[in-house]
Chains A and B, each alone.
Chain A
Amino acid sequence: MPKATKITKGPLKGATQDDIHEFYRMMLLIRRFEERAGQLYGMGHIAGFCHLYIGQEAVVTGMQAAITDGDQVITGYRDHGHMLACGMDPKGVMAELTGREGGYSRGKGGSMHMFSKEKNFYGGHGIVGAQVPIGTGLAMSNRYKGSDRVCLTYFGDGATNQGQVYEAFNMASLWKLPVVYVIENNMYAMGTSVERASAETELYKRGISFEIEGEEVDGMDVMAVKKAGEKAVKHARSGKGPYILEMKTYRYRGHSMSDPAKYRKREEVDDIRSHRDPIEGLKHQMIDAEIATEDELKALDKEIKAIVKDAADFALESPEPDPAELWTDVLREAEAV
């Protein structure tokens, strides 16, 4: 059973047993959630764009462990994992995917557009790179308010070729804003590999001309992510300005549900799955360190499956939004002047 005792040796060193169990649980939740989302998409219950996070689970799980309550998170459109990691309810997320009243945006946002002020999750943005200046602005609002909060601003390897990313880098560094830029390099911007799109393929170096420190991280290893995340967050929180983390990660599924992923070989996917999978990797480390047994993890898997099933059931049972919702939330009522 999990404990608060710290592990003192091996690859899990420094974390408590509770932490490790939570990492495993969260990564598994994201994986099972996404598999179910893929299935519901295949059955026609989820429409439009649906970008699955399968394979990248260690990134958000490790980064979430590196921040504290009140720090903000913002990302692009591959956002389901981020929402779950922020503690948003799987039911509300799944019901948004099915476009129902019970969804986080009451069915009006969809896969790419969900928010939770309560959980400090600021979206869910569908335009590649747009979240980068916005996250930078959130960081600036922290400083303006005299708070020591940090904003984690996630984006993909594809977004690193958007101009506004560098406009944001420049201002963040110029004004020493408390923002950590997390580049999730899953090697393909839709169907275009980093090599085919980027003159500088080591993306953590993209901040050099803005004097932003960066480092490359094994994004398939939750412990490595957490460690790098803690360093970066500390840097940003202490007033030294932004920091870039390039997470080397991989998505097992296509760019979106309608992508047959013909631009890469099945063997490449299989190789990473069998040798670098973040969940399998942690599982072996936990068993080796004797902080979990196969049976315990199996029981956990069952528990997660039940959570995901409940989310899926909720997402299918929740009614479509009332037709009157068509006209709400376009504008906020102004205060009387």
Chain B
Amino acid sequence: MSVDILMPALSPTMEEGTLSKWLKKEGDRIESGDVIAEIETDKATMEVEAVDEGTLARILIPEGTEGVKVNAVIALLAEEGEDTSDVSACEPAANGSAIEAEAPSPPPAPEPAPATMGHNSANLIDPDLPEGTSFTDTAIRDALRDAMAEEMRRDDKVLILGEEVAEYQGAYKVTRELLQEFGAERVIDTPITEHGFAGVGVGLAFGGLKPIVEFMTFNFAMQAIDQIINSAAKTLYMSGGQMGCPIVFRGPNGAAARVGAQHSQDYAPWYGHVPGLKVIAPYDAADAKGLLKAAIRDPNPVVFLEHELLYGESHPVPDLDDYVLPIGKAKIRREGRHVTLTAHSRMVGFALKAAEILAGDGIEAEVIDLRTIRPLDTQTIVESVKKTNRIVTCEEAWRFMGVGAEICATVVNEAFDYLDAPPTRVTQKDVPLPYAGNLEALSLPGTEDIVAAARTVCEGM
């Protein structure tokens, strides 16, 4: 049996090319790997290497022929022991028409039911607190620490690495005393090498462990964002479900006080954009604890966004052995019927203060603490808007392409007929965060901005 030599494609988009030169002639012996011809397109010239061995029996397309279709038979190869004179071919059609590539008609895409972006959270319920549960006022940094310590006691696969997490006890003291309890094998000081240790963390997770990677701030995680997105978030999908990456990337996010543009940014929309990640941004101490425990147990990569300016704030945390909250469930922190305020992290505090002020005007604001950015609890938001008919989204990030943009689009899509005013966003001003105290205050969103926005959407109410 002779072997067909076909016109190859230089790229998936190439449809035809010029057979510029034959480097072998009929009767020549060919080994696999030999260059037999040159072809060219308007972009490139390429050598055609033989795959099979044998004798070049027939050249069907003479050199210099233009417009040779990809996959057209350009020559015939006689295999060992075959008489080249026996090799005959159907004469190729003029200009060597190829087998027309069948254009497969794409099947209709199945209805998406991914619970990875916005989703129905009806089946997610915060755990019931037993009758008589006591509470302890706990600073957020300690609640986070307790969460890690509890999970490290529970599962010896959990370890933490990052800059200053061990001997220094954490740049913000979030890892205080973990080294003393768990030792240097599980609480690991890294050099200042974010890209490197984020990748090492991914390797630990691929190796079957459950690493917590602390970034001193998420601003520094930009050095490592390739590992977070390309390696941690995408590998489960790219491996057809084989290679999961159970890892938590955590640290302070958002604006601190007077540290300037490079140390003050809210990355919630950045990570919230990425399928394969879960993104959490808690406000109070109980949520910080319950959600960090959930994040550590989760089999997926979780980006856990804390806030430097909240670390020292204390809230009551239930005195339970194992307080774990569901990821993907927003919390209605204040009920109201006139306007919905959504917020995450530090902005929740401002939204609650704003609601207080608005109440003085007779505006009852409903405050939704998003808690999880991805998957976003769109159900809770949409249900609220159906009741209030107005929404103001609040975030520390920039407006353009922000979390608020996503929420507003969802509300317009799913509750259009209920809206009595345009969805409105309160965000940081669209500038890098300035250093000067007055300019910084002008740039960052706060209670007054929320009050003003809420009043505007409630005008004529």
Contact = CB atoms under 8 A, between A and B. Distances in A.
Which secondary structure dominates chain B's binding surface?
A: loop
Interface in B175-232: 185, 190-191, 193, 195-209, 226-227, 230-231
Interface stretch (B2-10, B56-64, B407-415, B451-459): B2-10
Contacts of A35: 32-33, 49, 51
A164 B238 contact: no
A188 interface: no
A130 B278 contact: no
A258 B202 contact: no
A44 to B, nearest CB: 5
B195 A133 contact: yes
Contact of B201 (A137, A163, A337): A137
B297 to A, nearest CB: 6
Contact of A331 (B8, B113, B199, B276): B276
Contacts of B48: 42
Interface in A113-138: 113-117, 122-127, 130, 132-138
B168 interface: no
A271 interface: no
B46 interface: yes
B327 interface: yes
B interface residue count range (under 10 / 10 to 19 / 20 to 34 / 35 or more):
35 or more
Contacts of B231: 125, 127, 130, 134
B238 A136 contact: no
Contacts of A134: 199-200, 202-203, 206, 227, 231
A217 to B, nearest CB: 24
B191 A138 contact: no
B256 interface: no
A129 B14 CA distance: 30
Nearest to A174: B191
A321 B443 CA distance: 49
B35 interface: yes
B371 to A, nearest CB: 14
B169 interface: no
A260 B242 contact: no
Contacts of B51: 35-36, 38-39
A135 B231 CA distance: 12
Interface stretch (B86-94, B104-112, B305-313, B336-344): B104-112
B95 interface: no
A252 B203 contact: no
Contacts of A273: 33
B226 A170 contact: no
B402 interface: no
B244 interface: yes
A42 B109 contact: no
Contacts of B236: 329-332
A171 B35 CA distance: 46
A43 B203 contact: no
Contacts of B204: 137-138, 140-141, 144
Contact of B299 (A142, A174, A335): A335
Contact of A327 (B32, B113, B298, B326): B113
Contacts of B237: 108, 329-330
B33 A141 contact: no
A32 B51 CA distance: 8
Contacts of A54: 33
Interface residues of A, number: 77
A109 interface: yes
A160 to B, nearest CB: 15
Most A-side CB within 10 Å, residue of B11, B201, B275: B11
Interface string B386-410: 0000000000000000000000000
A251 B275 CA distance: 36
A264 to B, nearest CB: 12
B238 A43 contact: no
Contact of A133 (B44, B109, B199, B238): B199
Contacts of A124: 238
Interface string A89-107: 0000000000000011111
A291 interface: no
B240 A258 contact: no
Contact of A335 (B190, B276, B297): B297
A323 B196 contact: no
A68 interface: no
A116 B191 contact: no
A114 B239 CA distance: 6
B201 to A, nearest CB: 6
B240 A108 contact: yes
A168 B196 contact: yes
A168 B194 CA distance: 10
Interface in A1-54: 32, 35-36, 38-39, 41-44, 47-48, 54
Contact of B243 (A106, A117, A139, A145): A117
A195 interface: no
Contact of B202 (A72, A108, A137, A323): A137
A326 B191 contact: no
A115 B200 contact: no
Contacts of A144: 159, 185, 204, 207, 209
B199 A132 contact: yes
Interface string B231-251: 100011111111110000000
A327 B202 contact: no
B239 A113 contact: yes
Contacts of B10: 257-258, 260
A210 B419 CA distance: 62
Interface in A208-265: 252-254, 257-258, 260, 262
A275 interface: no
Contact of A164 (B11, B116, B195, B209): B195
Contacts of B108: 323
Given A258-B44, A332-B299, A44 B190 contact: no
B136 interface: no
A253 B48 CA distance: 11
B249 to A, nearest CB: 14
Interface in B80-126: 101, 104, 107-110, 112-116
Contact of B199 (A109, A137, A253, A334): A137
A327 B207 CA distance: 25
Contact of B196 (A41, A117, A171, A327): A171
Given A44-B101, A333-B299, A136 B200 contact: yes
13 contacts: A42-B70, A47-B12, A105-B242, A108-B239, A124-B238, A130-B227, A130-B230, A138-B206, A139-B203, A320-B104, A328-B241, A330-B275, A333-B299
The 3 closest A-B pairs by CB, nearest first: A137-B203, A133-B199, A167-B196
Given A109-B238, A326-B109, 14 more contacts: A44-B12, A115-B238, A117-B242, A123-B243, A127-B230, A133-B197, A133-B203, A136-B203, A137-B202, A140-B207, A164-B199, A170-B196, A260-B45, A332-B241
Interface of B: 6-12, 32-33, 35, 44-49, 51, 70-71, 101, 104, 107-110, 112-116, 159, 185, 190-191, 193, 195-209, 226-227, 230-231, 235-244, 275-276, 278, 294, 297-300, 324-327
